Chains A and B, each alone.
Chain A
Amino acid sequence: MKRLGWSLAFFIGFLSLSQEILWVRVVTFAHQGVPHSFALVLAVFLFGVASGATAGKRLCGRWPLSADTAVAWCLLAGGVLDLLVPWWVSRVAGSEWLSVTMGVLIYMSAALKAMAFPVAHHLGSDAGGSYLGRSVARVYALNIVGSTLGALLTGYALLDHVSVSSGFTLVGTATLVMGLVSLRRGCPRCVWIAPAVVVGVIATADPDDRTLVVAASRHAPGRIKTIIENRHGIIHVVDDGAGVGDVVYGGNVYDGRTNIDLRVNSNRVDRVYLLAALHPAPRKVLVIGLSTGAWARILSTLPSLSQMDVVEINPGYLSLISFYPHLSPLLNDRRVQVHIDDGRRWLRRHPEERFDLIVMNTTFHWRANITNLLSREFMEIARSRLAPGGIFAFNATGSADALATAAAVFPHAYRWSNFVYAAEQDFRAVPPQAVDRLAALRLGAEAFDLRRSTDRLLLNDMLAKPFASVHDVEIESGRALAVITDANMLTEFKYGRRLRLD
C-alpha cells in the first residue's frame, strides 16, 4: 500500500504540473499575454487543488471505505476531462463562454487530481510510528519531485515537439493509466472499464493538433496559413487576402506584416525607413525582436552597414522568415548575426558593444514582462550602448509613459507616429540629403527612384511629418505622465490592459 501511496504522490504531482503548464500556454495565448493570465491560471488551479485536497480529506475520514478506489474513479474522470479539452474549447471558441469554460476545466481537472493528494499521504505515511514526520515528508517530497519533473518535461521538452492540443491528449491518457492502475488494486472487478477507456481515448483524441490554437486565436478576418508551436510560444500567420503582406501574430498578438515596401506601408515601415534619414551612416545596428524580419531586412539594405546583431527570444521566427523569398536573404547575410536570447540580457552581457542604431519594434506595452524593455533601467543600459551620434528607436505602442521614460533618460526623446526616437543629440532637423540616403538603400525591386515624382513625393511627405515632444504628448494624454521602472511595471498593471473575460 505504501508503494501505491508513493506512486500516486509522484504521478499526481507530475500530471498536475504538466496540466498547469499546458493551461498557462492556452490561457496566456487566449488572453494575448496580458500579465494577469499566468496568475489567473495559477489561482484557479490552486483553488481546484484546495477543493480536491479538502474532498480527499473527507474520503480519508471515511477510511477504510476504499478511498483509493474513489481516487481511481476521480483520476479516470480527470483523464477524460483532459482528453476533452480541445473539443470543449473549440465548441465555445469565439463566444463569451470561452474564459469561463477554460476556468471550469482547469478547476475541475486540478480538483480531481488533487483528491488523491491526502489519500497518497494516508497510504504512504507511517501514522503511528516515530517516523511520522519523515514518512509524511517523504510522500510530500515525492509529490514535489513529480511536480518539478512535470513542469520541466512538459514545458521544456514536450511542448518543443508536440502541439498544446496533443499535450492534453498525452496528459489525459497518462491520467487514465494512473486511474486504471489504482482501480486494479482497489477494485479488481472494475477492470472491465479498461477497454471502455481505450475506446474513449481513441474516440476523443483530437485528429487535428491545431484545434486549441485555432479555437483560441484572435486575428483579422482571413485564413490561418501557418502555425508554429514550440516551447517558446505560438506564432500564427494569417492571409487576410489584402495582398499587402501576410499578418504575423506572436502569442496571439499582432506582430507585424511581411511587407517591406514603403509604397504599400501596410505595417508602417515608414518608422524604420525614417532611421535611414535620421542617421548619416549607420555601421553597427542592433535589432531587439526579429518577428517577421521585415524591419531587420530593411535595415540590412543600409549601404553603410557593416554589422547587424539581431536578438530574438523565439527561434520559430527564423523558420517563418525562410518561407518568404523577399525576407529570407536576411538569414544568409554575413553581416547579420541572429542571437536567440533575451534582449535585455544580451545587451547587459555585451557591455563593450556600441551601436549607431538600436531598434526595437517592441510588442504591446500591456503584455507580460514588457517592462524589461520599457523601464528606465533598460533605457539606461540602451543609452550606454549607443555610439556617438547613435539613435535608440522603439515602438511605444501608444504608451505615453514610455515616451516620458525615454525623455527621463535621454536628453532628446520624441514621438513620431507611435515610435519613440531618443538620442544624446537633437536629430529632428532632417538634412536635404536625407532623401538621397533613402534612395541609396539596396532594396532591389522596391528601391526608390528619385526620377519618379511619386517616389520623391512619398519620401518628402514622410520626412515632413513632425515629431511630438513629451510635453505635447502629456497634454494630449490628459494626465501627468510617469516614468516606468522595473519595480512599478506601470504599463503592465496600473496603466495596463484589463483582463477581458469575453
Chain B
Amino acid sequence: MQETAANTAPVSVLTGLFFVSGFASLVYQVSWQRVLFAAFGSDLESVTIVVSAFMLGLGGGALCGGWLADRLPTRALAMFCGCEAGIGLYGLISFALMRWIGDVFVLASLPVIAAVNFLLVLGPALLMGATFPILVAHTVRQWGNVGMATGHLYGANTLGAALGALSTVFGLFHVMRLDQSISLAAALNFSIVAVGFWRLRQAR
C-alpha cells in the first residue's frame, strides 16, 4: 500500500518541494562560502576548493541517487525526504562546525586545509545531488519522457535556487546574521520533510 502511494506522489507536489529545496541550497551555498572564506581565506584558491567540492559533491550524490532510484523505485518521496532531513541536520550544525574546524586546522598545511574544506561541503552536496535523479526517475515513471521530466524538475529547482541566491544577499543578510540565515535554510529543509511525510501518510 505504501509502495503504491509513494509511486504515485503527485509531480506537482514534488515540483513544489524541489523548488523550495533549490531555494534552501543557494542560501546554504552563499552562506557557507562566507563562513569558509572567514575560516580559511577568501583568495582564489579557497574559492576554487569550495566551488569544486560543492560541484563534485553534487555529481557524486547524483550517482548515488541514481543507484538508489533503481534499487528503491517506489520510495522516491521517502528518499527525497531523507536527503532533505540530512541536509537540514547538517545545516543546523554547519556554522559552528565550520568555525570550529577552521580554528582546529588553522596551522595545518594548505593541502590539508583544502581537504578539510572539501570534506566540509562534500556531505551536504552529496545529499543535494542525490535528490535530482531520484525525483527525475520517479517522474519519468509517471510521464514516460526523460527530457520532459528533467526539464520540468531542473527548471523548478533552478528557479528556486535563483530566488534563494537573490533573497540571501538582498534580504536575509540585511536583516539577520549568517548563522540565522543558515538556520532558516535548515528550517526550509525540515518543512520539506514535514510536507513530504504528510503526503505519504495521507496517501496511506
Rounded to whole angstroms, the CA-CA distance of A231 and B47 in the bound complex is 12
The one of B30, B37, B106, B146 in contact with A136, judged by C-beta atoms closer than 8 angstroms, is B146
**Given A57-B152, A137-B63, A342 and B179 contact (CB-CB distance below 8 Å):** no
A: number of interface residues (CB 8 Å): 75
A341 touching B43, Cβ below 8 Å: yes
Among the stretches A88-96, A144-152, A219-227, the one at the interface with B is: A144-152
Residues of A327-343 whose CB lies within 8 A of B: 341-342
Q: What string of 1s and 0s marks CB contacts (under 8 Å) between B44-87 and chain A?
A: 10111001100110111011111111100100000000000000
Shortest CB-to-CB span from B82 to chain A, Å, is: 15
- Tell me if A86 counts as interface (CB < 8 A to partner B): no
In the complex, the chain A residue whose C-beta lies closest to that of B162 is A46
- Tell me if A67 counts as interface (CB < 8 A to partner B): yes
- Tell me if B13 counts as interface (CB < 8 A to partner A): no
B151 touching A345, Cβ below 8 Å: no
- Tell me if B136 counts as interface (CB < 8 A to partner A): yes
A345 touching B41, Cβ below 8 Å: yes
- Tell me if A165 counts as interface (CB < 8 A to partner B): no
Question: Cβ of A485: which chain B residues have Cβ within 8 Å of it?
Answer: 177
A136 touching B133, Cβ below 8 Å: yes
Shortest CB-to-CB span from B92 to chain A, Å, is: 15
In the complex, the chain A residue whose C-beta lies closest to that of B43 is A342
Among the stretches B2-10, B153-161, B188-196, the one at the interface with A is: B153-161
A132 touching B137, Cβ below 8 Å: yes
- Tell me if A344 counts as interface (CB < 8 A to partner B): yes
B151 touching A117, Cβ below 8 Å: yes
**Consensus secondary structure, chain A interface:** helix
In the complex, the chain B residue whose C-beta lies closest to that of A55 is B151
B155 touching A349, Cβ below 8 Å: no
Rounded to whole angstroms, the CA-CA distance of A46 and B161 in the bound complex is 7
Question: Cβ of B121: which chain A residues have Cβ within 8 Å of it?
Answer: none
Shortest CB-to-CB span from A27 to chain B, Å, is: 13
- Tell me if A493 counts as interface (CB < 8 A to partner B): yes
A53 touching B162, Cβ below 8 Å: no
- Tell me if B173 counts as interface (CB < 8 A to partner A): yes
A155 touching B129, Cβ below 8 Å: no
- Tell me if B119 counts as interface (CB < 8 A to partner A): no
A47 touching B68, Cβ below 8 Å: no
Question: Cβ of A127: which chain B residues have Cβ within 8 Å of it?
Answer: 140, 144-146
A341 touching B41, Cβ below 8 Å: yes
B: number of interface residues (CB 8 Å): 69
A57 touching B148, Cβ below 8 Å: yes
In the complex, the chain A residue whose C-beta lies closest to that of B166 is A43
The one of A55, A59, A489 in contact with B178, judged by C-beta atoms closer than 8 angstroms, is A489
A117 touching B150, Cβ below 8 Å: yes
Residues of A450-475 whose CB lies within 8 A of B: none
Rounded to whole angstroms, the CA-CA distance of A461 and B149 in the bound complex is 74
B158 touching A137, Cβ below 8 Å: no
The one of A35, A152, A156, A348 in contact with B106, judged by C-beta atoms closer than 8 angstroms, is A348
B147 touching A119, Cβ below 8 Å: yes
Q: What string of 1s and 0s marks CB contacts (under 8 Å) between B161-182 and chain A?
A: 1110110111001110111000
Question: Cβ of B46: which chain A residues have Cβ within 8 Å of it?
Answer: 342
B165 touching A53, Cβ below 8 Å: no
The one of A53, A145, A487, A494 in contact with B59, judged by C-beta atoms closer than 8 angstroms, is A145
In the complex, the chain B residue whose C-beta lies closest to that of A17 is B55
- Tell me if B201 counts as interface (CB < 8 A to partner A): no
**Given A57-B147, A121-B147, A140-B133, A39 and B41 contact (CB-CB distance below 8 Å):** no
Binding site for A on B (CB under 8 A): 26, 30, 34-35, 37-38, 40-44, 46-48, 51-52, 55-56, 58-60, 62-70, 73, 95, 106-107, 129, 132-134, 136-137, 140-141, 144-148, 150-152, 154-156, 158-159, 161-163, 165-166, 168-170, 173-175, 177-179
A sample of 6 cross-chain residue pairs with beta-carbon separation below 8 angstroms, ordered by A number, consists of A50-B155, A118-B148, A137-B67, A137-B69, A349-B107, A493-B174
Q: A60-B151, A117-B150, A127-B140 are in contact. List 19 more A-B contacts (CB 8 A).
A: A35-B169, A46-B159, A51-B155, A54-B152, A55-B151, A121-B146, A132-B70, A133-B70, A133-B133, A137-B62, A145-B56, A145-B59, A156-B48, A345-B41, A349-B107, A487-B178, A488-B178, A489-B34, A492-B173
